[in-house]
Amino acid sequence: MPQKKPLVVVTRKLPDPIETRMMELFDARLNLDDHAMTKAELMAAVAEADVLVPTITDRVDGEILAQAGPNLGLIANFGTGVDHIDLAETKRRGIAVTNTPNVLTEDTADMTMALILAVPRRLAEGERLMRGGEWHGWSPTFMLGHRIWGKRLGIIGMGRIGQAVARRAKAFGMSIHYNNRKRLHPDIETELEATYWESLDQMLARMDVVTIHCPHTPATFHLLSARRIRLMRPHAYLINTSRGEIVDENALTRMLIKGELAGAGLDVFEHEPAVNPKLLELDNVVLLPHLGSATLEGRIDMGEKVIINIKTYADGHNPPDRVLAGMF
């Protein structure tokens, strides 16, 4: 008798090649219209699924997991961050959780570098001016921004993405500085010409550009609090392509309005998809709709990792990208 295919519930629309492969391998229930599942839909999904494939838009909390049926053995997250999943509860219930590490590094680093360039050089502001028909010709003092060559870049979180950003920024002539839970190996510091700061406060007070690359955990919620943002110099820029909850968005907005910070490049928001309406009014902010990993290549790579994790689990083995409580 052939082995029964696991029932896999996918919460959002995935790239066509991934969905096709899932339908071949599993009893896959797809979200063809790509709507964000309601709490009731998620409860129904975990009640009958063998495997749930959620994304960052799905909060798989204790209330949802309380409805988990006896067959739910794996939550194969489509994404790297798992702060939307109650890992303590999944551990208590014996439900394995996997993610998709190491496939989004270069895409996110590219987007970060794009923002590091775009904000000081006022690219978005200039593009809006052009489309509004308000450009009337070149002049020596028109739309002056700031060069990034020779500026100090402070990286918060020097994992794979942080290091990929450092390599790009170094090529643009920036001086690399970082704060991390653990200091990097001296060989990596030498390669990146990176200076380690044990004190985040001291680093923030001395940087020209600060970029965030740590995960969102209870320990990093509002890591950049109002107090810490105030440590940054008035000419400095803040870049965030990690998680919106790491920054006190209201405090950041107030400082930008008052001119106490030169600008910001934000791809993530504290209450997304909601954005502080006052941010939308500011010319010194570049706002993007969570595009950090939004490449077709990246999404397919993510999907392939999800499939490998599910297939390995279904074959009775430990999935390669299993997440353990306390990892993040």
Taking the domains of the chain in order of start, what are their residue ranges?
A: 7-103+295-314, 105-287
The token duo for 21 is 């492969």
| Fold equal for 7-103+295-314 and 105-287 | yes
Active-site position among 243, 245, 270, 299:
243
* Residue 204 pLDDT level (bands cut at 50, 70, 90): very high
Burial class of 158 by CB neighbour count within 10 A (0 to 12, 13 to 18, 19+): buried
Average pLDDT over residues 165-180: 98
Average pLDDT over residues 122-137: 96
* Residue 109 pLDDT level (bands cut at 50, 70, 90): very high
pTM of this prediction? 0.89
What per-residue confidence (pLDDT) applies to 193?
98
Instruction: For the domain made up of 105-287, give the CATH fold.
Output: Rossmann fold (3.40.50)
* Residue 1 pLDDT level (bands cut at 50, 70, 90): very low
Q: What percent of the chain has pLDDT over 70?
A: 98
Active-site position among 41, 191, 272, 304:
272
Mean pLDDT of the chain: 96
Q: CATH number of the domain at 7-103+295-314, out of 1.10.3720.10, 3.40.605.10, 3.90.45.10, 3.40.50.720?
A: 3.40.50.720
pLDDT in tens, 56-98: 999 999 999 999 999 999 999 999 989 999 999 999 999 999 9
Q: Are 296 and 107 in contact (CB under 8 A)?
A: no
243 annotated active-site: yes
Average pLDDT over residues 183-199: 98
* Residue 2 pLDDT level (bands cut at 50, 70, 90): low
Average pLDDT over residues 312-327: 88
Of 78, 56, 76, 52, nearest in space to 65 by CA: 52
272 annotated active-site: yes
Q: How far apart are CA 192 and CA 67, in angstroms?
A: 48
| Antiparallel, parallel or unpaired: β 7-10 and 27-29 | parallel
Checking if the pLDDT of 325 tops 90, the result is: no
Question: 191: Cβ–Cβ under 8 A, 6 or more apart, which residues?
Answer: none
In single-letter form, the type of residue at position 171 comes to: A
Average pLDDT over residues 266-278: 96
260 annotated active-site: no
Q: Angle 215-221-222 (CA atoms, 0-180°, nearest 5)?
A: 120
